[in-house]
Amino acid sequence: MNELEQLYIPQLQLLKPVSLVRDETRCYATFDGTVCNGDFIAVKADKGCLITRSRLQLVSDLELPEHHFRSLCIMGCTPENTYGVPEDVIAKRDEKDYIVSVFIQPNVGRTRLFRRGGNVEVTRITYLPSYFDTIDLPFVGNFEKMATMVHELDSDLLSLHLRSLLGELDFDAAQKPSGTYYFRSKALEALCLVMDMVAATGYRAASGGTPDDLRFARQVMDIVDASLDRMPSIRELSERLYVGHTYLCETFKNVTGMTVGAYARTRRIEMAKALLRDSELSIKQVARRVGFETTGGFAASFKQSEGITPRQYRMVKMVQGSEHPAPFSLRQQS
């Protein structure tokens, strides 16, 4: 029995999926109302490296067995979804709408109660000790070295850099034929980001960011996230934050690795995908909701990012929701 079978299949079966598809490297489940609604996917990205993403809404109370191996975890979630996270890590968290943490997960087995009406939105990269035996990166070292370095890592720094990366580990990417390889590359990229932050010359040498720069970049991101329907100009952002244009643009890119405009476009497409998937708004209404004045401009930007038009994306999601097809070519198992 591999890690996927041991950790996730028993839980998924208790959730009574309408579709459960799996092979040696991936398992995918969809749920439609018996116990919960939504999707779950787990990918064995590499030997000793597992990536999971859950988007579930519970229809009834449920007790689930929970088992975690000792591991290094990178996890993004909403504040109410801190299950599986050590208490000392939870204590450091703030009340942002989306939280990223890096922590050492202890080996633990328990049963947890999930309440009806709760929303579970979690993306998690799990690196088992065996993973560090498979990669030839001298600066990474071994698991015990990573555990020591991560223990004092400031999670607030990570949210700026890892939030976008975790957002790219979505259901669409996992279902592609190259999904396992894509997730493998993202797992290594995330680990390298963590190492850059805790290395001796460390995070500041890599990014040029000071604590003040990081706080400033977070302010900009928060404003953009709250203004996707009417994105403020660089001039308006500068005036609101009482800084010059040059300082705003250079500091934000130095800290995040992208321009303010690129960050806004990424967040707009993420919101558009959620609205297309989960609402009955028209394409025109979705375009307006994420800040596009014309449907044509929205469609062009969406296709450049996702490879298909908004209408095609919605149709694909509707078919998946109604027919629950196998997301990749695997044998169907009950």
CA distance 248 to 201: 25
Q: Point out the least confidently predicted range of 34-38, 133-137, 262-266.
A: 133-137
Q: Is 170 found in the same domain as 223? A: no
**306 falls within a domain:** yes
Q: Is 252 found in the same domain as 167? A: no
In 47-107, beta strands by DSSP E? 49-58, 62-68, 71-77, 99-105
Q: Which of 204, 232, 254 is the last residue of a domain?
A: 204
Q: Is 137 found in the same domain as 52? A: yes
Q: Is 250 found in the same domain as 102? A: no
Band (pLDDT 50/70/90 cuts) for residue 237 is very high
CA distance 58 to 113: 11
Residue 205 pLDDT > 50, yes or no?
Answer: no
Band (pLDDT 50/70/90 cuts) for residue 202 is very low
Q: Is 66 found in the same domain as 31? A: yes
- pLDDT value of residue 286: 92
Residue 289 pLDDT > 80, yes or no?
Answer: yes
Quote the mean pLDDT of the chain.
Answer: 76
Tokens encoding 127: 């690196």
Q: Is 192 found in the same domain as 116? A: yes
**185 falls within a domain:** yes
Q: Is 110 found in the same domain as 18? A: yes
Between 322 and 156, where is the model more confident? 156
Q: Is 308 found in the same domain as 288? A: yes
Q: Which of 140, 171, 204 is the last residue of a domain?
A: 204
Q: Is 237 found in the same domain as 93? A: no
* Single-letter residue type at 199: A
**332 falls within a domain:** no
Average pLDDT score over residue span 308-324: 71
Over residues 44-103, the pLDDT tens digits come to 888 888 898 888 888 888 777 777 778 888 888 876 666 656 665 555 555 456 677 788
CA distance 89 to 68: 16
Domain containing residue 66: 3-204
CA distance 155 to 214: 12
Q: Which of 169, 189, 204 is the last residue of a domain?
A: 204
Q: Is 288 found in the same domain as 187? A: no
Q: What's 306's domain CATH number?
A: 1.10.10.60
- pLDDT value of residue 55: 84
**331 falls within a domain:** no
Average pLDDT score over residue span 222-246: 88
Q: Is 175 found in the same domain as 26? A: yes
**100 falls within a domain:** yes
Residue 138 pLDDT > 60, yes or no?
Answer: no
Band (pLDDT 50/70/90 cuts) for residue 230 is confident
**327 falls within a domain:** no
Q: Point out the least confidently predicted range of 5-19, 145-159, 170-184.
A: 145-159
Average pLDDT score over residue span 267-278: 85
pTM beyond 0.85: no
**326 falls within a domain:** no
Query: What percent of the chain has a predicted confidence (pLDDT) above 90?
Result: 5
Q: Is 279 found in the same domain as 309? A: yes
Band (pLDDT 50/70/90 cuts) for residue 283 is very high
- pLDDT value of residue 285: 92
Q: Report the domain count for the chain.
A: 2
CA quadruple 78, 80, 85, 90: dihedral, nearest 10? 90
* Single-letter residue type at 184: R
**329 falls within a domain:** no
